[in-house]
């Protein structure tokens, strides 16, 4: 069982010992630390925090603990109940709240849950704020409110509909055009809150929906990470029902994957690529993804005359670089679409609406659309190291060996070769180096990874 504390929040497995898992005590302590941090950074006003959760089994318990801790600090709470990560992000500024907490362990299995923390803009906290909250939690320096100053809880049950309203207001989302295309789409929402949000969005856009695992009961019917090996049922359903394509989301609805009309994976990396292609065709500009995302986004951006930049891994890093470079769309290769016209957060509702509009506009099949983009293949590996080895020194040696190539050290070491790339990142929690490669064939990507593993082994010995 595990408890992981980081600058972006706290996540762990339910049950077990305090301090080793996400127990009620740990939940209260971390919620209190966040509330205490908010109060320390406020101007002696009554604070408000938006709280929502995905459908996992432990969600109601964790949410009640979190909300009651906040009210115990004298903070008002807006309870969204079953929600999505992007819905909470949208709700924070709309409710003029001071922050938000999303209770979700994203793509992790059902025994996990987490508290993800937002600022007053509905964006994830930066490293400085996250570190301070961890310190407050460690010190347990909490000051709770007296009986006359307790916060109150306001329940708003229709925020997913409000979120859909915001998506449909976007200039590049054309509900009428999508409705006239008479599309049929299958949806796998892994029995979480995507089962509420995605079908509702599609129906409001005039799409015929075939629902699979859309009951938000938290009993995930397969591994909730939207990868090919987990999605056999939706692939078969798309073919059986002769659907135009399939949509797959993770439990908190910030990752988006498509299945083409033949029941084949569109490719998570190409979710962002396709949405960016559409957005850039209408509003030319710059893009950002992280260093471990596909080169295809750079190719599409340059095709439209824009400039592409890569950030360190992590949504908060992508968002900051997007702001710095005035990027009009960005995200992560795991199917996360960040479209600032909506908000600075990964949003599967926004991604789905943009993709549907693009598909309706060009009239092509999803497989035909995919074939228009450059094909890149990824390999993801890791090398386990002996504890105590100087990992930074190893990465420095790799950098020196390839100093004539295009190199980024923003996050580990990324080496851009003319035809492929490799990205090496050290783990902060275990003695390993993660190795990501991309090339124009799977064999080439795998071979590049193995070559890099041998090179690291040579440096060590």
Instruction: Say which of 8, 83, 106, 292 is annotated catalytic.
Output: 106
The answer to whether 6 is a known catalytic residue is no
Judge contact between 113 and 105, C-beta under 8 A.
Answer: yes
Of 207, 249, 214, 435, residue with least CA distance to 347: 249
* Torsion, Cα of 388, 391, 394, 398 (10° steps): 160
143: burial class by Cβ within 10 Å (0-12, 13-18, 19+)? exposed
**318-351 burial string, b = 16+ CB within 10 Å, else e?**
bbbbbeebebbbbbbbbbbbbbeebbbbbbbbbb
C-alpha span between 288 and 300 (Å, rounded):
12
The sign of the torsion formed by the CA atoms of 178, 287, 271, 315 equals: negative
135's tokens: 């310190």
User: How are beta strands 327-332 and 286-290 bridged, if at all?
Assistant: parallel
Name, in order, each residue with C-beta under 8 angstroms of 122's C-beta and a sequence gap of 6 or more: 88, 89, 90, 91, 92, 93, 100, 343, 344, 345
CA-to-CA dists, residue 259 to 265, 368, 375, angstroms: 5, 12, 16
Residues annotated catalytic, as ranges: 106
């Amino acid at each position: 069982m595990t408890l992981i504390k980081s600058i972006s929040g706290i996540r762990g497995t339910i049950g077990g010992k305090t301090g080793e898992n996400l127990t009620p005590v740990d939940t209260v302590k971390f919620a209190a630390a966040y509330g205490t941090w908010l109060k320390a950074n406020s101007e002696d006003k009554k604070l408000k925090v938006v709280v929502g959760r995905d459908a996992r089994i432990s969600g109601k318990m964790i949410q009640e603990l979190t909300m009651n801790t906040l009210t115990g600090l004298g903070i008002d709470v807006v309870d969204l109940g079953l929600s999505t990560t992007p819905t909470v992000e949208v709700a924070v500024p709309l409710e003029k709240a001071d922050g938000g907490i999303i209770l979700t362990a994203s793509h992790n299995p059902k025994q996990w849950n987490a508290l993800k923390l937002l600022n007053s803009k509905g964006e994830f906290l930066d490293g400085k704020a996250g570190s301070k909250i961890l310190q407050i939690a460690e010190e347990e320096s909490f000051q709770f409110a007296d009986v006359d100053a307790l916060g109150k809880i306001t329940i708003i049950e229709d925020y997913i509909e409000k979120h859909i309203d915001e998506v449909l207001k976007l200039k590049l989302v054309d509900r009428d055009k999508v409705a006239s295309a008479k599309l049929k789409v299958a949806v796998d929402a892994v029995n979480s809150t995507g089962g509420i949000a995605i079908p509702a969005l599609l129906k409001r856009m005039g799409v015929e929906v075939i629902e699979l695992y859309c009951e938000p009961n938290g009993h995930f019917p397969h591994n909730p990470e939207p990868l090919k090996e987990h999605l056999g049922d939706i692939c078969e359903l798309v073919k059986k029902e002769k659907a135009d394509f399939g949509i797959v989301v993770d439990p908190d609805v910030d990752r988006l994957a498509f299945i083409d009309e033949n029941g084949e994976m569109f490719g998570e990396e190409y979710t962002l690529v396709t949405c960016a292609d559409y957005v850039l065709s209408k509003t030319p500009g710059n893009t950002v993804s992280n260093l471990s995302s596909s080169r295809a986004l750079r190719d599409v951006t340059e095709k439209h005359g824009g400039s592409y930049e890569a950030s360190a891994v992590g949504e908060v890093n992508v968002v900051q670089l997007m702001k710095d470079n005035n990027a009009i769309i960005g995200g992560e290769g795991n199917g996360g679409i960040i479209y600032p016209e909506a908000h600075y957060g990964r949003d599967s509702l926004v991604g789905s609406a943009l993709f549907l509009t693009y598909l309706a506009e060009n009239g092509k099949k999803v497989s035909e659309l995919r074939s228009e983009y450059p094909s890149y293949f990824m390999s993801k590996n890791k090398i386990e190291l002996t504890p105590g080895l100087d990992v930074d020194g190893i990465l420095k040696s790799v950098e020196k060996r390839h100093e004539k190539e295009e190199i980024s050290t923003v996050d580990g070491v990324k080496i851009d070769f003319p035809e492929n790339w490799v990205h090496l990142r050290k783990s902060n929690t275990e003695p390993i180096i993660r190795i990501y490669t991309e090339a124009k064939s799977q064999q080439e990507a795998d071979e590049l990874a193995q070559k890099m593993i041998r090179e690291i082994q040579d440096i060590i010995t």
